[in-house]
A and B are shown apart, each in its own frame.
Chain A
C-alpha cells in the first residue's frame, strides 16, 4: 500500500487521553494504518454513490481514538458512519470530533477489552459515478435483437479501491478491481432473442413534415422492444443510456446502423430506438374536408377528413403507424383554443382492425391506426394506398 496513492487514511491512536482532553494544538497521527479488508461500492441510488469499507482495528480496553482523514477526495463529511461489525456489544462510539480546516474526523471509541474489531466505515463520495451504455445487435431479418447493457464506472474520486464489490441495485453483483482515475466498463446484463418491432410512424405534431409543400410527412423508423419477461427482458427497469445499434449483415459481420438515447424504461414499458427517417415509405397528408356545422348560437361541430396517400417502395410489407394529436388537428382546422378537444370518429367502427385503443399508448388527445402496407410489386411499382380518418371536433365556438 503506497501512502501517496491512498488519500483515505485511517489512524488509530492509542493515546487515549486525547479523547477527553485534547490539549495539543497539533494533532498526533499515524500509529497504525489498518488495511481495508473489504470494499463495497453501492450504486443503487440514482445520484449518490455509497462506499462501505471494512477494516480490522486493534482496540485496547478503554477509550481509543481513531483518526479518519482524506485528501483531494469528495467525501461527504456528514455522511461518514462507523459501525462495529464484530463485538457490537463491546464497542461504543462515544463521540466524533471534526478538526478545523481539515478533511478529517476523530472517533472516540470505547472498548470493553483488548480486541481486534471488524468495523465498517461508510460514506458518500463524489467522482465515483456510473453510467450505462447499450449495444444492440439486430438479426439480419430485423426480427430479434441481442441487447447488452454495460455499466461504466468512472472512478475520478481520487481514491483507489482495489478489489471491490459493486452493486447496482439490480442484476448481478460484481467483484472488480477499481483503480485510480480509471473507467471500468462491465457487461452488466445480456438479453438474447428479444423480439423487435420495426415501426414506421407518421405524426405531424411530433415529427412534422418532410416536405411541407408537397404535404409529405416525415416517417421515422424505430426499433421497439418491450421490457417484459415474455420478450426476454423484464428483469429490472432499463436505465437510461446511449444505445449503439448494429445489424447482422448476413455474411458473418455486422453493420452499425445508428444510435439513440435509450430512456429510462420501467418494466412493461416500451423502449423505442430511433433509427432515422424512412425514405421508402412515402406518406402525403392532406385535409380533405374541413366543414363547420352550426349547432346553436355560435356553437358548432367541425367535420374533418384527413386523407393519407401512402406508398411503400420497400420490397417487403411493413406496417405504418398513423398517429394524430387532436389539439394539432384542431389548430389546423379552426385555430387554437385553450380548452380540451372534444372529438369523435365519424364511425367508431372505422378501421376497427387497425385502430389502437391500448390505453398505454393513446389518451384523450390521441388517435392511432396501424396500417398494413404491402410490398412493392415485382415490377418495382408501389401500390398507392389511400387512407382516411373521418372525425368530428365537437362543441366549439
Chain B
C-alpha cells in the first residue's frame, strides 16, 4: 500500500520563507477517514480526508504534499473539525522550488490533538453507470439491473473510503486534470484574470457544490456507517436528491486501488411491464424500421426512485431454452424520473417495412406571361398563350408504408416521416402532426398479416408554395 499523499508536521516557529530549507519531520499522521465525492459529468472528485494531528501551543507548520497524483493545487483546503476556536490558519505557502506541496502555518492556543479535515479536488477518479435488461421470452415483462462502476486512475490508493457519486452536470471553466499539472506559481496571471467577477464561475461552482454537500452531510443523510470489514450482503446504494443533483452514496466504505475499477449493483427491478413498438423515423434511426423496447422511469414500472444516469444498456431476452439472446446495446442519456426509456434494438427480420410510391401526377398549373405582373390559370378560366411558362402547380404522390408482420404476434408500428415544402398530408389513418413538417401515423398489425398504410402527399410547387409546413387532411 503506498501513501502518495503525505502530511508532515513541523514544530517550527520560522517564517514561511525559511520553511523551505528547515523542515523538521515531527509526525506522519495517517488518514482516519477519507470521503470521495465523484462527479460523472467532469473529471472531478472532491476528496475529504480527516486526520488527527498533534499541535503545540504557538506556531505550527504543516506540510502537505501530493507527488504523483492529479490534485488541483488551487483547491487544497484545511479545516479544523475540533478545537476550531483554538486553531487558526495564518497562511499557506506554495514553495517555488517544489511542486505538489503546500505549507500551512497554524497558530495553536493549546497543546494536544485536533481533528483536521483536508479537502481537495482531484482528477483521475470517475464513475459510470450501466444497465442490464433481460426480457421474458414473450417480451411482456423485463428485469432491469442498474450498476455503477468506480474507476481509480488518480495515482492514489483510497482505502476504506466513503464513496459518493454525483449525478448531474456542473460547470468547470478549466479541467481539474489540467490544473493538476500546473505548479501554483503558474496561477499568478490566471488569478488576476479570475479577479473579474464574471470569470469566477469555476470557483463559485465548486464552492457551491462543496456547500451543498456540506449541507447534506450536516443533515446526517449522506454518510453511511463506516464498514471496512467483510460484507456478506449486497451493499445498498442510497439515492438522494440535492439541488440540481442526485447523490448516490455507497453504503459503508470501499477500497478502490489505484488502477482498478469496481462495479456494484445500484438497483434492480423485476417484472417491469414494457411496450414493444416498431418505429420508422428516418431522422432518428436512419432509413429502416427498428424495434423498440419502451418503459418509463416511474413507480408504475417499479422504477422512478432515481434518475437514470447516462450509461450503456445491454438488452437480452430469455430465449426460453435456459439461455439468453443478445438483442442490442445502446448508450442512453440521463433519464429523469417519469421520463421514457427508449431502447433501440435495430431492425427485426420478422417485421418488414417497405416504402412504396404508387403513383405520381401534377395538376392545377399556373402560368406566367412575359411582361405581365399576374399569373394565369386555365382552371380559373384564364386564357393561356403559347409563350406562357409554368410557374406554379401541385404535385401529388400516393404512398404506402407496407408492413409485413412475421413475428408471430401482433405488433404496433409508428411512422414519422418528414416532408419539405408546402405539403398537405391526406390519409384515413388518423394522422397527427409530430411537428410542423412531420406527420405521424400509428397502426396495429396482426400476426402474420400484411398491411398497407396509405396516404397521399399534395405539394404546392413554384409560386403556389406559400408555406413551409405540413397540414393534415383526413380522408376516407
Contact = CB atoms under 8 A, between A and B. Distances in A.
Tell whether A pairs with B. yes
Interface of A: 16-17, 19-23, 40, 42, 44-46, 48, 50, 52, 62-63, 78-79, 81, 92-101, 110, 120, 122, 124, 167, 169, 173, 237, 264, 266-269, 294, 296-299, 339-342, 359, 363-365, 394-395, 397
Interface string B332-369: 00000000000000100110100011111111010100
B233 A110 contact: yes
Interface in B358-402: 358-363, 365, 367, 378, 384-390, 393, 395, 397-398, 400, 402
Contact of B319 (A17, A20, A42, A264): A42
Contact of B365 (A22, A46, A101, A395): A395
B324 interface: yes
B361 A42 contact: no
Nearest to B265: A93
Contacts of A298: 387-390
20 contacts: A20-B231, A21-B255, A23-B159, A42-B326, A45-B328, A50-B316, A52-B323, A62-B232, A63-B230, A78-B130, A93-B234, A94-B233, A96-B262, A269-B352, A297-B365, A297-B390, A298-B387, A299-B367, A395-B363, A395-B365
B262 A97 contact: yes
Given A237-B350, A340-B395, A296 B356 contact: no
Contact of B231 (A94, A98, A294, A395): A94
Most buried by A among B263, B367, B400: B263
Nearest to A108: B231
Interface in B309-323: 312, 314, 316, 319, 321, 323
B228 interface: yes
B365 A44 contact: no
B360 A94 contact: no
B18 interface: no
A122 B324 contact: yes
B259 interface: yes
B384 A266 contact: no
A266 B406 contact: yes
A273 to B, nearest CB: 20
A364 B260 contact: no
A123 B400 CA distance: 41
Contacts of A23: 1, 159
B130 A237 contact: no
Contacts of B352: 266-267, 269
Nearest to B356: A363
Contacts of B389: 297-298, 397
A52 B68 CA distance: 42
Contacts of A395: 361-363, 365, 393
Contacts of B260: 97-100
Contact of A97 (B228, B235, B261, B358): B261
A99 B263 CA distance: 12
Contacts of B259: 99-101
Given A45-B325, A266-B349, A298-B388, A98 B261 contact: yes
B230 A19 contact: yes
Interface string B252-267: 0001011111111100
Contacts of A363: 356-358
Nearest to A45: B326
B229 interface: yes
A50 B264 contact: no
A50 B324 contact: yes
Given A297-B367, A363-B357, A44 B230 contact: no
A52 B393 CA distance: 62
Given A95-B264, A122-B324, A298-B390, 6 more contacts: A20-B255, A23-B159, A98-B263, A266-B349, A364-B397, A395-B393
Given A173-B321, A266-B406, A296 B233 contact: no
Contact of B312 (A44, A78, A97): A78
Interface residues of B, number: 66
B453 interface: no
B5 interface: no
A264 B350 CA distance: 12
A97 B261 CA distance: 6
Contact of A340 (B265, B316, B328, B360): B360
B327 interface: yes
B361 A79 contact: no
A178 to B, nearest CB: 16
Nearest to A343: B360
B234 A22 contact: no
Given A266-B404, A297-B390, A342 B324 contact: no
B358 A297 contact: no
Contacts of B132: 81
Given A42-B323, A42-B326, A339 B395 contact: yes
Given A99-B260, A364-B358, A94 B325 contact: no
A146 B371 CA distance: 72
Nearest to A120: B323
A341 B360 contact: yes
Contacts of A359: 356, 358, 400, 402, 452
Contacts of A44: 319, 325-326
Contacts of A20: 228-231, 255
B318 to A, nearest CB: 11
B43 to A, nearest CB: 18
Contacts of B312: 78
A167 B321 contact: yes
A217 B66 CA distance: 81
Interface in B109-133: 130, 132
B451 to A, nearest CB: 13
Interface string B65-104: 0000000000000000000000000000000000000000
A62 B233 CA distance: 9
A237 B352 CA distance: 11
Interface string B148-170: 00000000000100000000000
A296 B325 contact: no
